[in-house]
A = this chain, B = another copy of it.
Amino acid sequence: MKKVSLGIAGLGTVAQGVLEIIANNRALIAQRTGIEFTVARVASRRPKPEVALAGAQFSTQLSDLYEDPEVDVVLELIGGETVAYAFMQAVVAAGKPLVTANKAVIAAHGNTLLSLRPDAAVRFEAAVAGAIPIIQAIQQGLVANRFEYVVGIINGTCNYILTAMQAQGAAFADALQTAQALGYAEADPTFDIEGIDAAHKLAILLSLAFDRPFNFDDVYVEGISEVTSADIEYADQLGYKIKHLGIARRTDQGLEARVHPTLVPKSQLLASVNDVLNAVLVKSDAAGATLYCGPGAGGAATASAVMADVVALASQESTPRYRPEAAQSELQMVPIESVQSAYYLRIPAQDQPGVFASVAKALSQHGISIEAAIQKEAQGGQALVDIVFLTQMTRELEMTAALAQVQNMPEVGGPLSRIRLETLD
């Protein structure tokens, strides 16, 4: 039987997940693939004596992994950006096949990394949506399709927080605290809740689906820290859930790439993807709309995707079909100002006759049509009441101008909310 030895950089949860899969399922994988996988080396700055290394040699030198002729495939599972990127370059330069879960490095430096050698073999299924084989679905299962959109819940922390706000009526800060207590959010949660992590993943999906070089700067980013429980409640009354989506879409204007909180109709499956789950909805010309859902993080789940890449490389199945130098697309990126969207608007205003009409008129002056509205009665002694609108499709540019005008109206008090709405049809 063919034998393939792995060299693993890192000893965190994903690396431990890989070690566990090899320990538990080695015979099963060998039966399915005809290949017996062993771990020859593990390298990490700090040893962790509590982790069973299954006979692998341990070292604190990352370079041992690509210098060891016995290592056939190198797994970069250390995370972070600078050290990881330098290491990954060295692995590729040494001619070793590389598997990584590092979305930040692929989104920012993927073009360089994949072009270092003509035979560079780099795979990164685990970089997007954890256990879900979404990259494989786009590159292989749907290879014959022209893509219309790729829309995903691709950050579990945001999805957990929004789900908790929805289920318990919790405020953002409280839901964040719960997420931190449960280990679903970091002590410094900025990367997740401000949408950077989702934007890294969307940049990767964008490139693969629309045949373009990786470009993180193509992605417009908003996080969820401005979403209030009042917004979630109103959205609910109107038949929507608020989800943090990454959206890459072909339009008549070109390509949109954006990450932001979004109203999604409850009738859409995406609206029911809750807690830390991830899901990606792909629409393409032949296959139609297909949805992929599962755990987006966690050691074992991410390790499952890493091992899929390991098996593919070890079977010499296809170096990844995505080659930045060959990637070409006639499509232009659409700047966020030109993006068309429907909107949810919440406008706190004084409870006086005619205010509703003046706000509606201001919107209409900017060409914005109203699809639905809620106007609440004032509760005893309350100075401001919320006026809620769902609008028809509007350009970002006009919406921004209209809201600047509305915000300055004397009858309007307090910051207003605007959240985009997608029907995903």
Contact = CB atoms under 8 A, between A and B. Distances in A.
A321 to B, nearest CB: 6
A133 B144 contact: no
B143 A32 contact: yes
A303 interface: yes
Contacts of A132: 141, 290
Interface string A18-49: 00110011001101111000000000000000
Contact of A125 (B141, B294, B307, B328): B141
A301 B321 contact: no
Contacts of A288: 131, 294-295, 298, 300-301
Most buried by B among A146, A288, A301, A326: A288
Interface in A163-187: none
Interface stretch (A188-196, A216-224, A312-320, A355-363): A312-320
Interface stretch (A245-253, A279-287, A340-348, A376-384): A279-287
B144 A29 contact: yes
A300 B145 CA distance: 10
Interface in A204-251: 211
Contact of A292 (B25, B33, B290, B301): B290
A142 interface: yes
A155 interface: no
B290 A131 contact: yes
Contact of A32 (B294, B303, B310, B321): B321
Contacts of A326: 31, 34
Contact of A141 (B136, B143, B287, B315): B136
Given A133-B142, A293-B291, A317-B317, A285 B307 contact: no
Contact of A304 (B125, B145, B295, B312): B145
A284 B300 CA distance: 10
A78 to B, nearest CB: 20
Copies in the complex: 2
A333 interface: no
Contacts of A136: 133, 136-137, 140-141
A194 B279 CA distance: 32
Contact of A269 (B293, B301, B303): B293
B142 A308 contact: yes
A156 interface: no
A286 B125 contact: no
B25 A285 contact: yes
A131 B287 contact: yes
A21 B286 contact: yes
Given A131-B287, A136-B136, A301-B287, A21 B294 contact: no
Given A143-B308, A288-B295, 6 more contacts: A24-B146, A131-B288, A286-B301, A291-B291, A291-B294, A315-B318
Interface of A: 17, 20-21, 24-25, 28-29, 31-34, 125, 131-133, 136-137, 139-146, 211, 269, 272-273, 279, 284-295, 298, 300-301, 303-305, 307-308, 310-312, 315, 317-318, 321, 326, 328
Closest 9 CB pairs of A and B: A133-B141, A290-B294, A144-B307, A131-B287, A286-B304, A287-B304, A291-B293, A286-B300, A288-B295
